[in-house]
Structures are given as C-alpha cells and as structure tokens.
Amino acid sequence: MELHPRVKPHLSEIERIMQDELGKEEPRIYGMLAPFLKRGGKRIRPALCLLSCGAVGGKYEDVLQPAAIIELFHNFTLVHDDIEDDSQFRRGEPTLHVSYGIPIALNSGDALYTLLWNKLVSLRLPPSRLVKLEQLYAASFKRVVDGQGLELAWIKEGRFDVSEEDYLAMIYGKTSALMGLSCEAGAMIAGGGKRLRSALRDYGEKIGAAFQIQDDVLNLTGDFEKYKKEIGGDITEGKRTFMVVHCLARAGEKDKQRLTAILSSHSKEKADIDEAVGILKASGSIDYARKKAEKLVKDAKKRIGSLKDGDDKTNLLAIADYVVNREA
C-alpha cells in the first residue's frame, strides 16, 4: 500500500495516540493490548479516514483522534472475533485468548471498547457536532457486531442455504461498515456536504466488501509467511464464505455433500482442507470471487470519480486497487 509521503507521519501520530492511550491504563488489564496493536496491521481504516478528510479539503490533524478510535474499535473486534472463531494466530503471533485464556482476553476486549467510547465522548468538538459523530460511530459499530453475529448464527444453525445476497448483506456489516465509517467520519469532520459524504461512504463500503472477499480468497490460497493467519482456517471454522456460497449453488450433489460435511466437521486435517479447496477451485468459485472483488473495486473507484483531483484522491484510488491485489 503506497501512500504519498504526507500521510505517513500522520499515521505514525495515530500509532502514538493509541499507544499513549493504552500506556496510561492499568497494565494487568490493558498491558497485553499495546503489544497486540504494535503487531501492526495495515492501518487501512485510519488511512481512509485521513485521505477522505483531505480529499474533502480538511486537515489531517483534525481526524487523528477519530481515526485512532476507529482503529481501536477494529482491534477490539479482532480480540473478540478470535475468541469466537477460536483462531490461533493473528498477525503471525498467538491470539490473545491463546496466550492469556478466554476470561482475560474477553475482558480486555471489553476494556478496549469501553476505553474508545471514553475517548469518543470526550473529543473536542462542539457538542452538537460531537453527538452527530457519536451517532454515526454507534450505528456503524452496531452493523459490525450484527454482521459478525449473523455469520456465527449461520454456523451454529448449520445453515447452508445462504444466498449471495445474504452473504453480501453480512459482510456489508462485518467489514464494510467500519471502512465506510472511516471515510464518512473523515469527510464529516472536514465539513463535507451530504453528497461528498455519501460518495466516500459508498466507496468505503464497496472496498470493504472487496477486502472481505479477497480475505476469504487469501484464507484459502494465501501464503502463511505473508498472510500470517492459519491457511484454511475458514474451512475449519465452517465459514459460509463467498466461494462456499457460490459453490453450493452450482456444484454437483457429491461435491456439495463433501463440502458441507467438511465444513460441518470443523476438521483441522490438512487432507480435508485441501479437499474442500479442491472442490471450490473446481467449481470456479475462487475465480468468481476474485472477479466479484474486482467489480466492487471498479464501482468503488467510480463512486469517487467526481472528487477534486489531487494526492488524496490518487491515494484513495490506489487503496482500492491494493485491496484486491494484496497478498497479506
């Protein structure tokens, strides 16, 4: 993800804000969160927030705190999602519940979520603007949590009748809502009007959906050294990914039965995972997913076509391409 040099120091500043915030708190509760955040991550959400603000004529300085809050929320969801999915690795290192046990990891997630709300309600903005921003954040957070809940419910209920539309509705919550928020918050704080805010929100949501589909693809076909999560983890977790949904809608009876059997078994066996990947490949589902992600990116770029030309717009377009070209 190549960003123009003006952005980098501001991303570093956001990093510092997050570390400072955690460093002030009780180490037995927040101590594991600072290194968890230091593991890195793409910081795509803060970048979107900065660039959207800039693209609308605002100053990066004005969105450092709001962007940090969004990244903190993202990390909160990672801690809890890893428990829910029983994921073993995050950014190449053991997940928090693997290192500290579920009770402590769960509470630290709650602590992080509560901390970021404390930050949000204390932002230095005129109260009427602050309340509007809070409402935007709260509504977006809700879509993220609800999206995750829907995915868990499908697995729990053993449902395999998930349509492409259902899947897209789910990831427009789980993943798109926060990227859309990043863009809209940046535009809002920059004082952007309704039309600009809506264009950037849509752009963010579309690349969010593309990001999630690409993530589903990488989870199956990626390289652990780059992806830094267990490959095939989605198969073990029984996730209804875009490829699974596509495949089940068109594979033959035998393949469908095998795929649903493997997904329902929560198997960690390499042979099972390889077989599932083979079925998904043979049905053309992985290619179909890649194409869908590319289409979403194309639409996202179109949505911000009317923005004023400049570095910020160029970077937003580059992020859109990065989302589908990334290997990690």
Q: Name the site residues for its own copies (rule: CB under 8 A).
A: 25-26, 28-29, 80, 83-85, 100-104, 106-108, 110-111, 113-115, 117-118, 121-122, 127-128, 130-131, 134-135, 138-139, 141-142, 145-146, 148-150, 152-153, 156-157
Q: How far is the CB of 265 from its own copies (least distance, A)?
A: 17
241 contact partners, CB below 8 Å, separation of at least 6: 167, 216, 219, 234, 289
Complex with its own copies: residue 138 or 282, whichever CB lies closer = 138
Complex with its own copies: residue 5 or 127, whichever CB lies closer = 127
Residue 93: beta bridge partners?
A: 90
Q: How far is the CB of 257 from its own copies (least distance, A)?
A: 25
Q: Are 210 and 324 in contact (CB under 8 A)?
A: yes
Q: Are 220 and 234 in contact (CB under 8 A)?
A: yes
Q: How far is the CB of 198 from its own copies (least distance, A)?
A: 21
- Give kind and range of the element (H or E) at residue 185: helix 177-189
Q: How far is the CB of 97 from its own copies (least distance, A)?
A: 10
Complex with its own copies: residue 142 or 291, whichever CB lies closer = 142
Complex with its own copies: residue 25 or 62, whichever CB lies closer = 25
Q: How far is the CB of 51 from its own copies (least distance, A)?
A: 26
Complex with its own copies: residue 108 or 175, whichever CB lies closer = 108
Q: Are 304 and 321 in contact (CB under 8 A)?
A: no
Q: How far is the CB of 160 from its own copies (least distance, A)?
A: 16
Q: How far is the CB of 267 from its own copies (least distance, A)?
A: 18
Q: How far is the CB of 145 from its own copies (least distance, A)?
A: 5
End-to-end CA distance of the chain: 11
Complex with its own copies: residue 110 or 299, whichever CB lies closer = 110
Q: Are 119 and 69 in contact (CB under 8 A)?
A: yes
Beta strands in the chain (DSSP E): 89-90, 93-94
Beta strands in 138-262 (DSSP E): none
As to burial, measured by CB atoms within 10 angstroms (0-12 exposed, 13-18 middle, 19+ buried), residue 28 is exposed
Q: How many residues are listed for the chain in this entry?
A: 328
Q: Measured between alpha carbons, how far is 78 from 106 in angstroms, rounded to an integer?
A: 11
Q: How far is the CB of 142 from its own copies (least distance, A)?
A: 5
Complex with its own copies: residue 101 or 305, whichever CB lies closer = 101
Measured N-to-C along each axis, helices 164-171 and 242-250 cross at an angle, to the nearest 10 degrees, of 170
Complex with its own copies: residue 54 or 109, whichever CB lies closer = 109
Complex with its own copies: residue 85 or 255, whichever CB lies closer = 85
Q: Are 196 and 226 in contact (CB under 8 A)?
A: no
**C-alpha angle with apex 91: 87 to 94, nearest 5 degrees?**
50
